[in-house]
Structure 1
């Protein structure tokens, strides 16, 4: 057999095989989505002088709990914050109450956490270096640390 005939047969066979591979069922190419167990961070805002989780805050926490369902919840970090208005001791107390209120809400929603880690910063960091109050400080920062099951 001539070399050119062997080359032609080899190329023809390669094209035939590649043609078969491209005619597979499109469903074979669907990739099953896996649960992304990346940490979730949300902020829950409060009314002035209040530690009660609002309806909107509860909805945000519920969404986070739903997103975390397919994963293992390793730890939940909750940091209560306050603005610069009022006495520092009162601001520290309300930031503690905000962290506790968010934690109770997460437990009521049914978020299974191995550990809840609460902290309160009060008004610490509520004012810029120039003396201006930072906006949106009446909140709790929540981080849900996740891992794959």
Structure 2
């Protein structure tokens, strides 16, 4: 992964955390809301890959572990990891690569302590990649959607 893309990933992670922290301050309608972990709500993040690779980069592992840390104490209802690929190569190669990417993220999440039974994977190859002027490196990713809520009492 290039230095610019790594920097972009870290900036996006930092901004996501800051925005999440700002939004949480106005949600204290009850005592339970005040004492509940702050980030127990739905979250989305992306994990980027090098061209033609399904191996996680250090930045990708950081994104996974940082999100796991924010969700400690929360009830994680479901996690969906959707693998994507860029438009280079054949449709079958891109589909296989996106499946491998989703599985790599799922395995890393489970190893970090995420509740494995709630992690589902999907793969859409190049078909699900954003169209238009999006640069190819931004298509080489997985999209992770976490449905979370405060812990059940």
TM-score by length of 1: 0.72
The answer on whether the counterparts of 1:84 and 1:133 sit within 8 Å (CA) in structure 2 is no
Counterpart position of 2:144: 142
Counterpart position of 1:4: none
Q: How does 1:56-95 map to 2 (within 5 A)?
A: 56-95=59-98
Worse-matched range after superposition: 119-128 or 67-76: 119-128
> Higher helix proportion, which one?
2
Count of equivalent residues: 116
Alignment partners' CA distance in 2, 1:97 and 1:91: 10
Unaligned runs of 5+ in 1: 1-31
Q: CA RMSD in A?
A: 1.9
Superposed structure 1 runs of 4+ greater than 4 Å apart = none
Structure showing greater radius of gyration is 1
SS in structure 1 at match of 2:144: strand
Q: How does 1:118-137 map to 2 (within 5 A)?
A: 118-126=121-129, 128=131, 134-135=134-135, 136-137=138-139
Alignment partners' CA distance in 2, 1:42 and 1:125: 16
Counterpart position of 1:27: none
Alignment partners' CA distance in 1, 2:60 and 2:90: 26
Note closer, same or farther for the CA distance 1:98–1:144 as it changes in structure 2 (3 Å cut).
Answer: same
The answer on whether the counterparts of 1:78 and 1:143 sit within 8 Å (CA) in structure 2 is yes
Alignment partners' CA distance in 2, 1:105 and 1:75: 16
Counterpart position of 2:6: none
